[in-house]
Chain A
Amino acid sequence: MSHLSRDERLLAVDDVLEAPRAAHLAACEGCRAEVAALRGVVARVRAVDVPEPSPLFWDHLAARVGDAIAREPRPARGRAWWNLPQWGWGLAALAVVAAGSAYLAARPPATPAVAVLRSGSATGARAGATPTLSATSTEAGDERDEGWGLIAAMADETDLTPGDATALAPLAGQSELSISQLSRDERAALIAELEAELAPRSGREG
């Protein structure tokens, strides 16, 4: 049987060596001497005490720490969600966008419908400016979507004033992250929506 490994010798020092190896230790003079030497070192090290400082030292040390941290700002709060309203706002905004995108992706030819459902008058303008969108827009515009109606109603009821100041603008990098997680169809829907948004402005500017 092989001699005790390094880890086994440490286990033997702590008296927690497993039975089969303990049997070897009992039978092997070399391993026994090695473990005894290590135990002797540990015992000598353990016997050395830290000198007990003055009884007043502990109050003194606490006071020193107190004086030092009195000059420190209050430690930053943890990053629990309830401590970061920006997270809540940002995530809520992302959830709305993701839910909308997913819904659009799940509904075949619904991708450009966003532009149509926003406003009937805008639909006409967009339809004229971007013929490629007009056909589907007209189709979608005829069938008013209940899901988007709900989202639109929620958006209308949302007070954006605090959101502007806090976090309806998503945190840095979160928009990219959200976009990177969209499916192909969702991305197509997003692109179509952006095109629909940009087209009339281009027309007015042009």
Chain B
Amino acid sequence: MSDVWQTRFPWPAPFAPHASTMGGAPSDRVAMAAVGTVDGGIDHGALDDRALVAATLAGDRAAFDVIVRRHQRAIYGICHRFTGNHADAADLAQDAFVRAYRGLARFKGDAALSTWLHRIAVNVCLTRVSAKTPVADPLEPLDPVDVRGDRPDDPLRRAQDAALVKAAIARLPKKQRLTVILRVYHELPHEEIARALGSSVGTVKANFFHALQNLRKLLADGARP
């Protein structure tokens, strides 16, 4: 078995748990660099995503830790922009990675791992938040400020505008909200968004257009003094 393994993969057969897998001591976990880990002579950080997936499927959980550390900012970002708060975003991001781990064998490798993870995060957002509607801040949470003022760099004004925008995004229908998040913040092409949402490209474009129109109206209403 080990001979066969060595011909396929450049790392040892990892069925015995490693000392520094993610089930290890917290100090071990903290010691893992965000870029990657060196575990038993294997520099996981040097492996690309597909090699890490193969290693994880072979039982090397430390490889999945590197996947998490590589993609957690993007996944957390989607979840935070969708929910609008840190606690829910952290829960959803964790859930997304656990689902990814469970379904890792279904990752075909014909698209980037990041695209596949985006899709899982989107599904987690769509399913989990459906049971727990996010609290949409009022569009005018503070004393309204005329955003057409002549001091665009004013921190107070920027904070006010950010609150208005976040509140407006929270009021969008879920698929429109996710489309805006993936298109504007993650700059994904329409095709990838379609894959992530399980929709057609035409639907994604329509969702994005309607989202922008809705935001335009909501922001215009919210910005009115």
Contact = CB atoms under 8 A, between A and B. Distances in A.
B5 to A, nearest CB: 12
A167 interface: no
A58 B72 contact: yes
Given A62-B69, A74-B59, A75-B102, A41 B212 contact: yes
A61 B76 CA distance: 9
A41 B219 contact: yes
A73 B223 CA distance: 52
B175 interface: no
What secondary structure prevails in chain B residues at the interface with A? helix
Contact of B98 (A41, A49, A72, A78): A72
A66 B23 contact: yes
A68 B22 CA distance: 9
Interface string A27-46: 00000000001101110111
B212 A69 contact: no
Interface string B56-72: 11010100110011001
B121 interface: no
B129 interface: no
A6 B208 CA distance: 10
Contacts of A74: 57, 59
A48 interface: yes
What secondary structure prevails in chain A residues at the interface with B? helix
A167 B59 CA distance: 26
A49 B161 CA distance: 12
Contacts of A165: none
Interface of B: 21-23, 26, 29-30, 32, 34, 56-57, 59, 61, 64-65, 68-69, 72-73, 76-77, 80-81, 86, 90, 93-94, 97-98, 101-105, 158, 161-162, 165-166, 169, 180, 184-185, 205-206, 208-209, 212-213, 215-216, 219
6 contacts: A10-B205, A44-B165, A46-B185, A68-B97, A69-B97, A70-B61
